[in-house]
Structure 1
């Protein structure tokens, strides 16, 4: 028997995937060095995920704030192109996400594939809204006097997002995409029980055109990571989609200290076409007055 034939008959060792956090465009391990076991609904071990610490949460805030200026200052059309590129990258890695969603939620391959397809379509849907939302929620206001009065939406800033606990990928995309489509940056706490699709999404974002720090993904105990984010003075808003009633109340109280915008947890059918509520939740309205009439000898007007 040749050496090649012997090699073919030898059973290969499994190459297990190492999952890491995604912070500031890089893939650090948890600052604490801790991990926790992720299992499927039947208790079968799937992977070890990083157990994020408070320090990891603070690092994510720094990265998100650093990225905010460039991302919010980009044109809406450019943001739409970048979000569409993310959808392209997701399409190319669809099989991986189908497997991870099936394992995470205990679904058949066909049902998991439907979830992944819907998530990619949802990402494209939000990509199309980037240069349209301003026309829907902004505009000119009637005034009595020689003025133009214009209202335009602007991003709130750094948004902490508690991803849904049950919908590991479709729900995840449904809460991340509207935040960044409108020019905000995000710190995402992945589903505590099913974090693997979120951590893999970080790998997709890193290989797309999305600037580092626009989305930061943490995994671990939701309550442990969310508490410092809710109290952080440099976090402007928080989406409590993945919090239970008790945790949501605690985080709302902490968020009130610097008047954060808060989206409270509610029953959501993530398979339904979303409205624009999650986009407008993290927009501020700026109103500007412009005088009408000519300007000096040039004769130009506002």
Structure 2
């Protein structure tokens, strides 16, 4: 019988392509569905949220300026890496959500497939969100989609990986940068996703992942003047109204929470949620 001591994993935040500990040094216990201790996760503070916004804003110019083809290729590469760590995610989702191995496998496979699906939209979304407009005059009138900017995302609480992918991937494939607040009770799949992103071709700061108390982190993000939009997927009904009120101070775009079946066909709603339309008039023959 071995008397070897286990080496426990230290989970950290993911901000600006790096893995800092929480600024406050706080952690909280993460347990499985039976109450068994799994790990200590970092408890992000308001300062961590502000740092994540700075990182996301810094990364926005380069990411939004990349070609759609390039963004798609980077997302495909992430999907390849997720496939390579499939067993790890299956184990973490099973623990997080109290699922059997077969059900957790279905969730992880669906999440990887969804990441690939959104990657494929990178160079096609302009065809459904833009086009040539008929005008009376000697002009070309063209509309094209552009990213909204820095998007704060409150990940779904009950779907720790499939739901997480379903809110992050559509935001970044269209050129936005993201601060994602992981599921409060089940943050480990999100923190492991950060490790995949860090070793992929995704530039640092495009996705930033925070764990901790959703309400505590969401409040400064909703009120932050340099956050352009917020997805309230993981907000409870009680806090959603307060977050919408805070978001209104700088006219943030708000995607309200609702009852969502994360296993269903996602459609294009979230793909189009954080896009703006730029319209250009151009004289004919010039």
Is the pair's TM-score, using the shorter chain for normalization, greater than 0.5?
yes
Work out which of the two has the higher radius of gyration on C-alpha atoms and give 1 or 2. 1
Which residue of the partner structure matches residue 253 of structure 2? 261
Q: Superposed, which structure 2 residues align to 1:51-66 within 5 Å?
A: 51-66=43-58
2:162 alignment counterpart? 170
Q: Deviations over 1:145-183 (max 9, x none)?
A: 000000000000000000000000000000000000100
Instruction: Please state whether the residue corresponding to 1:131 is helix, strand or coil.
Output: coil
Give 1:23-102 correspondences, 5 Å limit: 23-102=15-94
d(CA) in 1 for partners of 2:99, 2:31: 14
Question: What is the rounded CA distance, in whole Å, between the counterparts of 1:73 and 1:82 in structure 2?
Answer: 14
Q: 1:224 aligns with which of 210, 216, 219?
A: 216
Shift of 1:246: 1.0
Per-residue CA distance 1:169-226 (angstroms, 9 max, x = gap): 0000000000001000000000000000000000000011000000000000000000
TM-score (norm 2): 0.99
Tell me the SS of whatever aligns to 2:208: strand
- What's the CA shift string for 1:49-94, capped at 9, x where partnerless? 0000000000000000000000000000000000000000000001
Q: Residue 124 of structure 1 corresponds to which residue in structure 2?
A: 116
Query: Secondary structure of 1:213's match?
Result: coil
Partner secondary structure for residue 80 of structure 1: helix
Q: Which runs of 5+ in 1 are unaligned?
A: 1-8, 294-300
Q: Cα deviations across residues 34-53 of structure 1 (Å, max 9, x unaligned)?
A: 00000011111000000000
Please give the alpha-carbon distance, in whole angstroms, between the structure 1 residues aligned to 2:114 and 2:27. Answer: 31
Instruction: State the 1:273 CA deviation.
Output: 1.4
Number of paired residues? 286
In structure 2, runs of 5+ residues without a counterpart are none
Displacement of 1:272 in angstroms is: 1.1
1:17 to 9, 14, 37: 9
Deviation at 1:11, TM superposition (A): 2.8
The list of structure 1 runs, each at least 4 consecutive aligned residues, that deviate by more than 4 angstroms after superposition, is: none
Q: Please state whether the residue corresponding to 2:225 is helix, strand or coil.
A: coil
Paired residue secondary structure (1:227): helix
RMSD, aligned α-carbons: 0.6
- Which residue of structure 2 aligns with residue 282 of structure 1? 274
Other structure's SS at 2:263 match: coil
1:140 aligns with: 132
1:87 partner SS: helix
1: CA distance between counterparts of 2:154 and 2:235? 7
What does residue 209 of structure 1 align with? 201
Give, in angstroms, the shift of residue 10 of structure 1.
2.8
Report the TM-score, using the length of structure 1 for normalisation: 0.94
